[in-house]
Structure 1
């Protein structure tokens, strides 16, 4: 039986030294488990929005930073990409889709564990859709400590039994160190 997978904000604007491994891990997880449907969220930092006004951060406000990363774009169908701004969590259009499809459980992967992944998982929980976080397919742009903090909060709020591994980490908890070729 296939299960839905939600890929949260895996876009070029969030790829750094702490998250560079996530697109490849997600692609491997998709190939192994044949999730369906494959759903994506895309963060778009709106001009004069709270990130710009309060945090002086203007990233992810246009392409290519708002695109789905190249490693995953072949998996993304345009009508299954749900845009969101800020920490709004679960976009209304995605909540409507899940309701219409009668989805009761969804696997979640993505960036940032301590922000958007956490918020969306808790929003899903609140609408009685069981979120299952694939911990080895999530990371935070702020590093391992932020990722672990997000997992700790998720464990408390949605239950530790909902934090699982996809089995694609190759033994690395943090982002693997890239070596010069």
Structure 2
């Protein structure tokens, strides 16, 4: 990855909420927080998503899953909340960033590349990245700033599917991403 590959990028922090943080995903929260700080520190835009489950949702009907309907489960993680101040937060009822509100935000801001991190790799991160790909945006997934609340095997499965859906070169580590954004001596 080189800095010329990214076109007007934005960091999308997907669903780092209390209700998705458990023993399988908690390790990613500090990595996500560090990425947000570094990204915002070089003046690039950050957007957060927050999943809200509703009574009668498909998740409740088909999975018998009625979590993330209220605070504190729906709240952004305490380590993430202060980092969200001053940045857009897109509330969504499904997996993807591309709700009407999210799609409008991305289009209005003119972002070209969307860099995804967050929870859960195999669902909301993957679906958002695949939707970005299909809409013509450059999708990137930061592999070490994602996790699955279902465990490491599910995280890895999500990355395997992501390689098939958006391209294996689109999966990057935090260090590779940040190095690509930092001008080298020759670039200055």
TM bucket, shorter chain = 0.7 to 0.9
Contiguous gaps of at least 5 residues in structure 1 = 169-181
Q: How far 1:79 moved relative to its partner? A: 6.3
How far apart, CA to CA, are the structure 2 residues paired with 1:88 and 1:123? 7
TM-score by length of 2: 0.83
Cα deviations across residues 114-167 of structure 1 (Å, max 9, x unaligned)? 111110001111111111100000011111111111101110110000000003
Residue of structure 2 aligned with 1:27, choices 33, 40, 44: 33
Confirm or deny: 8 A CA contact 1:6 1:109 kept in the other structure.
yes
| Counterparts of residues 32-111 of structure 1 (less than 5 Å) | 32-33=38-39, 34=41, 36-77=44-85, 80-111=88-119
Confirm or deny: 8 A CA contact 1:51 1:86 kept in the other structure.
no
> Any idea what SS the aligned residue of 1:69 has?
coil
Confirm or deny: 8 A CA contact 2:53 2:67 kept in the other structure.
yes
Cα deviations across residues 31-57 of structure 1 (Å, max 9, x unaligned)? 333362110111111111111121111
Confirm or deny: 8 A CA contact 1:38 1:80 kept in the other structure.
yes
How far apart, CA to CA, are the structure 1 residues paired with 2:26 and 2:175? 17
Residue in 2 that maps onto 1:151: 159
Structure 1 vs Structure 2 CA RMSD? 1.9
Confirm or deny: 8 A CA contact 1:38 1:75 kept in the other structure.
no
Confirm or deny: 8 A CA contact 2:95 2:124 kept in the other structure.
yes
Aligned length: 168
Name the CA shift for 1:89/1:30 in 2 (closer, same or farther; >3 Å). closer
How far apart, CA to CA, are the structure 2 residues paired with 1:3 and 1:78? 18
Q: How far 1:4 moved relative to its partner? A: 1.4
Greater helix fraction, Structure 1 or Structure 2: 2
Task: State the 4+ residue runs in structure 1 displaced beyond 6 angstroms.
Answer: none
> Any idea what SS the aligned residue of 1:70 has?
coil
> Any idea what SS the aligned residue of 2:116 has?
strand
Residue of structure 2 aligned with 1:13, choices 13, 19, 28: 19
Contiguous gaps of at least 5 residues in structure 2 = 177-188
